[in-house]
Amino acid sequence: MKRILILGSTGSIGINTLEVIKKFPDKFNIESLTVNSNIDLLEKQIYDFNPAKVVVKNVSKAKELKERVGNKCEVLSGEEGLIEITKDGNYEVLISALVGFAGLFPTIEAVKLGKRIALANKETLVVAGEIITDLVQKHNAEIIPVDSEHSAIFQCLVGEKVSEIRKLILTASGGPFFKLDEKEFKGVTITQALNHPNWDMGDKVTIDSATMMNKGLEVIEAHWLFNLPRKKIDVVVHPQSIIHSMVEFIDASIKAQLSTPDMKLPIQYALSYPERLESEFVETNFPQLEKLTFYEPDLTKFKCLKLAYDVLELGGTNPCILNAANEIAVDGFLKEKIKFNQIPDVISESLENIRNHTTLELGSIFECDESTRKFAQSFINKEY
Amino acid sequence: MKRILILGSTGSIGINTLEVIKKFPDKFNIESLTVNSNIDLLEKQIYDFNPAKVVVKNVSKAKELKERVGNKCEVLSGEEGLIEITKDGNYEVLISALVGFAGLFPTIEAVKLGKRIALANKETLVVAGEIITDLVQKHNAEIIPVDSEHSAIFQCLVGEKVSEIRKLILTASGGPFFKLDEKEFKGVTITQALNHPNWDMGDKVTIDSATMMNKGLEVIEAHWLFNLPRKKIDVVVHPQSIIHSMVEFIDASIKAQLSTPDMKLPIQYALSYPERLESEFVETNFPQLEKLTFYEPDLTKFKCLKLAYDVLELGGTNPCILNAANEIAVDGFLKEKIKFNQIPDVISESLENIRNHTTLELGSIFECDESTRKFAQSFINKEY
């Protein structure tokens, strides 16, 4: 019986994780759940899964929940609550499913305890990949990726040698604007950008998918997860999202992992690995698939992907700047402060103006993240 | 340094194996080669690879070669030569690449010595799967499949548990007549049938591919190699032959092995496993692929595939009857004695007329093979 702590239980990954756990009551149980502020759904989850502790980041919402649930479970609050709950170590698997930079610090606590991290928060590795991978090694922790692409690669590498990899081939759906002319980017509405063809995800990730920044962040994540240089990580657009990613080996043999898109599959694998568990996820009926197609990503059109490639080569806190500026830019787009085509501009501008730190420490990352956010926000307020 | 014995060095698999071996002179060397009668090519191979012994099955051709090569290497002949050379044990890997039933007995000798068998001769498992798998276990031998489909499955299963397989998905190119109306089958010429869209193989295998008997034999082979029942082995037509086969696991996750079609890749893998060796085989450029498509095989049209499914369920010597009758029928087609659409008729007729032995012994298999050949041949002579 594995005890599970979910950071971000009311988000898309959190909800899917709970659905998986519900199916295997003899294998997994919920030790703790954390949310930002959605206490209505959390209250329901408390009654369904009986966690010992929960954390509500929003302090006043935490108080409100405490009044509602009484002694049913312990209610903590704030960033301190998040750190406390990850530090207590009363769990075997941490589901790191907070969105954005917020996932970094609590994830580090779990790494320090040598836990298994089912990692859905890509920013953790994007901004602090070097620090995290060092800590994972030092504390004998285990990172199992939850992103469908990285899970695919992880699965393809089971029983294989990392030294025999020629390259990784990350597949990308291309998002809703894969075929849209770049000239139309400035007129893209929020509704259009949130309408992902294959995956049902949170708003931030869906917009990142539309700009292909999501794939850029995944390339950086893959670099750290699998210890491979940029030139050994290819991206290929595969609009059907059936092949989740591939590994080409030195003998030209390629292994791919495929399935009908369903986040529950990689989540379950991250929980059950090295076992696989019988499940009723939709089986893939090949004769019923229309076709599988592949295209080169257009780096002129999808500038965010190009920017991500660049910062990976540059290193230092550049990926942190990219990530922070992107979070602010996406937020600005969702609040209708900037246009869709201005997202990469905010990021480029930030990369040009924020000082890069070549030596990575958590302190410099934190500082860099803060100053980038401030800069990007004021740039948006001033320019647009 | 692994010493290699190739049964069938002048056939398609043999020639490709020698090309692989040539690239890795510090890893593999040729201990012995065997051929049916093509002594011209064998003579060249002797000078290129310096085998200690060769076998020419045709006795008078063996004498002729002996005169030509003198003391350069030992020349044996006949079925006895084949058995002697496999029995001497002076090799680490046997490449079993004889075509048809002829591969069975020498392969068994290598199994009894606990050797690695790189198995390209599918008939060995088709007619004697139960006997072979028992012997492999008893003598701690190792069968690494060379067929691209089974190699794909073998590669997908590295690091995975056989108990977690939901099903195998064997891909089939569909051959040259995948889209041809069944009514046209009787008019198919030898040239048309030998014109395989993706693979360059020997005549027998190419005709089997056109009738889809090849896929039927592969289903039976997969049954024995991976110890799975018929209902866990699907066939899907995939005309591009990029995905060589797939494994679906109990969690609905599917793993596939892909490459641009080149038999050297699975041959090299069977030699180098568990390592992979750097190679210059054509890399697969996904954006340049037009598309990958998948179709249900048409069992009404491809009667040979249906017959193979049936004999796998029936068991006993039925697969042996199917195989022997098919060899005679294909030979009859290549000699223009029967039409393309009559191949399955010869097999059905044989299955109805030859007695099945439920207990498998090498003796009964040998006898069954002989009587089926006689029956099928006389049936062809009488009816057509």
DSSP A315-355: -TTHHHHHHHHHHHHHHHHHTTSS-GGGHHHHHHHHHHHSP
Q: Is residue B141 within 8 Å of residue B162, measured between CB atoms?
A: no
- Min Cα–Cα distance to chain A from B45, Å: 25
User: Does the beta-carbon distance from A158 to B155 stay under 8 Å?
Assistant: no
Alpha carbon distance B359, B342 (integer Å) = 30
Q: Which residues contact A108 (CB under 8 A, 6 or more apart)?
A: A128, A131, A132, A135, A362
Distance set, CA A9 to CA A22, A29, A99, B212, B335 (Å): 14, 14, 11, 51, 70
Averaged pLDDT for residues A106-134: 95
Looking at residue B203, the DSSP 8-state letter turns out to be: H
User: Does the beta-carbon distance from A256 to B255 stay under 8 Å?
Assistant: yes
Which has more pLDDT, A201 or B187?
B187
Whether pTM > 0.90 for this model: the answer is yes
User: Does the beta-carbon distance from A278 to B250 stay under 8 Å?
Assistant: yes
Looking at residue B357, the DSSP 8-state letter turns out to be: P
Size of interface A-B (CB pairs under 8 A): 143
**A259 touching chain B per CB within 8 A:** yes
**Exposure string for B185-194, b = 16+ CB within 10 A, e = fewer:** beebeeeebb
Instruction: Say how many C-beta atoms besides its own lie within 10 A of residue A160's C-beta.
Output: 18
> What DSSP element (H or E) covers A170?
strand A165-172
Averaged pLDDT for residues B248-264: 97
- Min Cα–Cα distance to chain A from B78, Å: 37
- Chain B residues in contact with A293 by the CB 8 A cut-off are 290-292
pLDDT digits (tens, 9 = 90+) for B145-183: 999 999 999 999 999 999 999 999 999 999 999 999 999
pLDDT digits (tens, 9 = 90+) for A222-243: 999 999 999 999 999 999 999 9
How sure is the predictor about A102, in pLDDT bands with cuts at 50, 70 and 90?
confident
**Closest residue of chain A to B20, computed from CA coordinates:** A251
Class for domain B2-145, per CATH?
alpha beta
Alpha carbon distance B309, B322 (integer Å) = 11
What residues does A167 pair with on adjacent strands?
A248
**Closest residue of chain A to B282, computed from CA coordinates:** A252
pLDDT at B311: 97
> What DSSP element (H or E) covers B237?
strand B233-237
The two structure tokens encoding residue B69: 């090569």
- Quick check: do B2-145 and B315-384 share a fold? no
pLDDT at B99: 82
Strand order from edge to edge, sheet including A165-172: A233-237, A165-172, A243-249, A254-258, B254-258, B243-249, B165-172, B233-237
The three-state secondary structure class of B243 is strand
pLDDT at residue B309 greater than cutoff 90 = yes
pLDDT at A92: 97
pLDDT digits (tens, 9 = 90+) for A241-251: 999 999 999 99
Alpha carbon distance B9, B99 (integer Å) = 11
pLDDT digits (tens, 9 = 90+) for B178-205: 999 999 999 999 999 998 777 777 899 9
Q: Is residue B371 within 8 Å of residue B325, measured between CB atoms?
A: no
Distance set, CA A36 to CA A123, A125, B178 (Å): 17, 21, 57
User: DSSP letters along B66-119, please?
Assistant: HHHHTTSSEEEEHHHHHHHHHHT---SEEEE---GGGGHHHHHHHHHTT-EEEE
- Chain A residues in contact with B293 by the CB 8 A cut-off are 289-292
Omega before B344 within 30 of 0, i.e. cis: no
> What DSSP element (H or E) covers A356?
none
Alpha carbon distance B153, B225 (integer Å) = 10
Looking at residue B375, the DSSP 8-state letter turns out to be: H
Q: Domain ranges in chain B?
A: 2-145, 148-260+283-311, 315-384
Domain covering B315-384 in this structure, CATH number: 1.10.1740.10
State residue B71 phi and psi, 5-degree precision: -90, 5
